[in-house]
Amino acid sequence: MPVNRSGAPASHRPLGILAALPQELGDLIEAMRAESGVRTITHGQRDYHLGTVHGAPCVVTLARIGKVAAAATVSALIHAFDVDAVVFTGVAGGVGGDVRVGDIVVADALLQHDLDASPLFPRFEVPLLGVSRFAADAALADRLAAACERFVAEEGVASAARFGTREPRVHRGLIVSGDQFVASAAGVNALRDALPDALAVEMEGAAIAQVCHEYGVPCAVVRTISDTADDHAPESFVSFLTEIAGAYSNAILTRFLDARTAQV
């Protein structure tokens, strides 16, 4: 059963927005401070920032890195802050053959690539839950993808020129998560062999999707590709995170939140 502790209609409840690292949130908290002011609540050693941004009530926070950190954070968003939906933004390594640095991936489904309780349960399946691939909320993912497409149409050429990347493309499909930074040709090829339809790899999304699935809360995940998860990943990741990640997140979330406000 979906959680709604306040009893308020969904249109009055905040959206939860989170990322693993501060660079991945861009200027979202500063935009909130300028628009409505920010009320910050510390809960479970994390700061949750409450306010309105682009006309939408939001709770913005950092999950930190890894599946446990992400699961703990999204659980707090659901139970302590009564969010009506969750959006996770950040960067990821490209796995799909046509996914390149600078592209954007919106998850249709998420899976934990390092979960293996076989032979007791099938590889990748969450024990006692019977699910390996957790679907993103279709409507939320559609709106997030539409925001990405608008960003590409309006700023894609200029962004590519500014950052020295190719013009971004938007992909939809499977994002996989695990508690490891995949940074070798052997590692990324193993993922491709085991999960041929995987588009991107990161360290939080599938855990968030599982928690949201269990509590009936819509979630969506968007990732900008910072590296190709191979031997060049460490330097590519750091450079992309520092120079590009925030600009992409700002552009995508601005369009997403503007559209969300217009629908209310």
Residues with catalytic roles: 24, 227
Q: How far apart are CA 35 and CA 197, in angstroms?
A: 41
- CB 124, CB 203: distance < 8 Å: no
The tokens of 159 are what?
A: 């962004």
What's the Cα-to-Cα distance from 53 to each of 77, 235, 242, 244, rounded to whole Å? 17, 33, 23, 21
Could you tell me where the DSSP H helices lie in 36-66? none
- CB 59, CB 43: distance < 8 Å: no
Maximum distance among all alpha carbons in the chain? Answer: 54
Please state the φ and ψ torsions of residue 63, each to the nearest 5 degrees: -80, -25
Task: Let me know the angle formed at the C-alpha of 109 by 104 and 113, rounded to the nearest 5 degrees.
Answer: 95
